[in-house]
Structure formats: structure tokens, C-alpha cells
């Protein structure tokens, strides 16, 4: 059985606040059809793909906030994506804001689903690393209120047998944490799907602006290589409601090399045929089973001692004793 999977990374250009779900879904359907024409088995959409990224502005009113969320998946507005996937026999990945009602309790998550070529949901991820702040910062050029609008995901980092391989998901800021890739790889992941909304300016850290594109690639390239995985990372790009976001939608091989990358800040589909068997050499090289032993790390961590803020640092006990 061949283990190549042709993947379309469907970058979204900006979505305006006034665009309806139906209008956005029509854009996504157009990309799904293009992906099918270009022989894709799977099309990957971005984080919160159905709306403008509302975490960039303050919302006080609960009803207004809930309007940005999906109450069911599929729901009436997103069902056309599932129907078209089934008609075209193509899988897809979709990021969305999830309003879950469980045991009578409403909870908001930043989520993504993986859907098979029959239009059935295979798995769901809820974003774990929420960036930004919960307080109102009206003097910033834009805000990042994910800590106010979403709960920390409660599903961990899971993997699924799908598309002749093992697939995992993470969302945007999750990609900056090495634990994400390692946990997915320990679950056998060969392919990791990521959607992101990444501004090219960080209001609290303007000194980092020049590195935003580099750091975006750096963490994913390292994650792919160190864990022997393919990574498909898809942007919401361009200037959206006054916030300028990076593009750089990328497909990264287990070697760590970027093998395909978007050129624009608009809706754009990039396609690559990923051979999941290319993961094998890297997984064998690192061989977690033989080389990654917790007992080898313990002697180092047990002498590390508590972390002391630099200003207050005093000689550690063991060092002081030797003086």
C-alpha cells in the first residue's frame, strides 16, 4: 500500500468582520474543489477559518461573543463542507471557534477537526497553549484576547490512524512548544496539521517583530526533524481588520526542510505529495525507544535546584559548600 498522501495547504487571505459564514464557506469550498482538481487526498484549512480572528478585539457582550462560535460541527452553515468532501472524496482539516455545551455547561475552545473523505469527523483537537492576555489593553494597536475568550484545551495531544498514516493536530501557538511535537510523536504521529493566525507585530515586544517569520519556521522545522514528522502549517494571512498577519503557509518534510511555501497573503493553495515512509529514517535515527530514557535525564534534573530570579540569585548550596 503506497503511503504517499497529496496534501493541499489552503491558506486564507483576510476575512472581514462583516463576511457571513456562508460567504467564507464558499471561499473554502472553492479551495477544496481546486485541491481535488490537483489530486489532493486532504485539504488543510487554517485556525478559526470561518470568521475574522475576533480575539484581536475586545467584546463585552456574551451574545455578541457567542456569535463568533460554532455550536455544532457540522452545523447548518458548515455542512456544505462535509457534503462536498464526501462528493469529492477528499479529507479536510478545519479550525474553528467551538462553543461546547456539555452537562449543561457552556465552554469555549479554539478547536480543529480532522474529517475523512466520507465527510466523517475522525478527531478533534482543542488548543492548549493560549497566547495573549485576558485583560483589556485598549491602547495596543490590537489585542490578543485568547486567554479571555477560550479555555485551555482538555483533549491533550492525540493522534489518529488516518490517510494510511498516523495524524496529529495542534493549533497556532501550540507550534512554539517542543512538548507539542514530542507528545504527538510519542503517539506515533507522522503528519502534524497546524492552522495559525500570527500577527507580524507583537505590541508588547516590538523588538521581536523582525524575527516573526524566522521564529515561525524555526520551531516547526525543528519539530519536524526532531520527531521525524511531516508538518503542514496553514496561515490566515494579510491585513485583517487592521491586523497584519504573516503568510508563510508551509509544508515541511521530516528532514526539517520547507518543501513548499505560499507566495501571497491571499487565498492560495499549495500542494505537495508527502511520502509518509520518509518519516522512517528519522524515527529510526532518533529511536525514542532505545535512546530516550527518563532515567538518563534524572541525574541532571535532580541537582538543578529551584529557579531563583537572577537579581536575587545567591550561590547554590552545593557551590557554597565548596568555596
**Does residue 196 bind ligand CDT (CB under 6 A)?**
yes
Integer Rg of the chain from CA: 21
Known catalytic membership, residue 48: no
Q: Which of 198, 221, 227, 249 binds ligand CDT (CB under 6 A)?
A: 198
Residues numbered 41-60 forming contacts with ligand CDT, rule: CB under 6 A: 47
One of 40, 84, 127, 236 is an active-site residue; which one?
127
Task: Rank residues 48 and 167 by Cβ distance to ligand CDT and give the closer one.
Answer: 48
DSSP state of 152: P
Q: Which residues pair with 44 in a beta bridge?
A: 9, 93
Task: Rank residues 41 and 174 by Cβ distance to ligand CDT and give the closer one.
Answer: 174
How far, in Å, CA of 283 to CA of 185, rounded? Answer: 9
**Does residue 203 bind ligand CDT (CB under 6 A)?**
no
Query: How are beta strands 159-162 and 268-275 bridged, if at all?
Result: unpaired
Q: Which residues contact 3 (CB under 8 A, 6 or more apart)?
A: 164, 165, 275, 276, 277
Known catalytic membership, residue 147: no
Spatial contact of 84 and 115, defined as CB atoms under 8 Å apart: no
CB of 216 to ligand CDT, least distance (A): 7
Size of the site for ligand CDT (CB under 6 A): 9
Q: Which residues contact 101 (CB under 8 A, 6 or more apart)?
A: 71, 107
Known catalytic membership, residue 70: no
CB of 8 to ligand CDT, least distance (A): 22
- The piece of 25-33, 64-72, 194-202, 292-300 that touches ligand CDT (CB under 6 A) is 194-202
Residues 59-78 as x/- pattern, contact with ligand CDT by CB under 6 A: --------------------
How far, in Å, CA of 182 to CA of 224, rounded? Answer: 10
Q: Which residues pair with 169 in a beta bridge?
A: 193
- The piece of 77-85, 114-122, 196-204, 225-233 that touches ligand CDT (CB under 6 A) is 196-204
User: Which residues contribute to the site for ligand CDT (CB under 6 A)?
Assistant: 47, 131, 172-173, 176, 196-198, 202
Catalytic residue positions, numbered: 47, 127, 172
Amino acid at each position: 500500500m503506497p503511503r504517499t498522501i497529496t496534501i493541499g495547504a489552503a491558506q486564507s487571505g483576510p476575512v472581514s468582520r462583516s463576511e457571513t459564514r456562508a460567504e467564507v464557506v464558499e471561499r473554502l469550498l472553492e479551495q477544496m474543489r481546486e485541491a481535488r482538481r490537483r489530486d489532493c487526498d486532504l485539504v488543510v484549512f487554517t485556525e478559526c477559518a470561518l470568521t475574522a480572528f475576533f480575539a484581536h478585539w475586545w467584546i463585552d457582550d456574551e451574545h455578541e461573543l457567542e456569535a463568533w462560535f460554532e455550536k455544532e460541527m457540522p452545523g447548518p452553515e458548515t455542512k456544505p463542507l462535509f457534503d462536498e468532501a464526501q462528493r469529492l472524496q477528499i479529507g479536510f482539516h478545519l479550525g474553528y471557534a467551538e462553543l461546547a455545551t456539555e452537562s449543561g455547561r457552556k465552554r469555549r475552545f479554539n478547536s480543529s477537526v480532522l474529517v475523512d473523505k466520507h465527510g466523517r469527523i475522525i478527531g478533534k483537537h482543542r488548543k492548549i497553549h493560549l497566547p495573549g492576555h485576558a485583560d483589556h489593553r485598549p491602547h495596543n494597536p490590537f489585542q490578543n484576547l485568547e486567554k479571555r475568550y477560550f479555555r485551555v484545551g482538555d483533549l491533550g495531544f492525540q493522534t489518529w490512524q488516518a490517510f494510511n498514516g498516523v495524524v496529529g493536530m495542534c493549533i497556532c501557538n501550540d507550534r512554539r512548544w517542543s512538548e507539542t511535537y514530542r507528545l504527538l510523536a510519542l503517539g506515533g504521529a507522522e503528519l502534524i496539521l497546524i492552522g495559525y493566525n500570527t500577527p507580524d507585530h507583537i505590541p508588547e515586544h516590538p523588538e521581536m517583530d523582525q524575527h516573526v517569520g524566522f521564529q515561525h519556521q524555526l520551531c516547526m522545522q525543528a519539530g519536524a526533524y526532531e520527531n521525524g514528522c511531516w508538518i503542514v502549517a496553514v496561515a490566515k494571512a494579510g491585513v485583517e481588520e487592521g491586523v497584519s498577519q504573516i503568510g508563510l503557509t508551509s509544508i515541511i518534510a521530516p528532514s526539517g526542510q520547507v518543501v513548499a511555501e505560499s507566495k501571497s497573503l491571499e487565498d492560495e493553495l499549495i500542494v505537495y505529495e508527502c511520502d509518509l515512509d520518509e518519516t522512517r529514517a528519522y524515527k529510526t535515527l532518533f529511536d525514542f525507544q532505545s535512546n530516550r530514557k527518563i532515567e538518563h535525564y534524572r541525574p541532571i534534573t535532580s541537582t538543578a535546584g529551584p529557579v531563583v530570579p537572577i537579581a536575587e540569585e545567591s550561590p547554590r548550596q552545593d557551590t557554597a559548600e565548596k568555596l
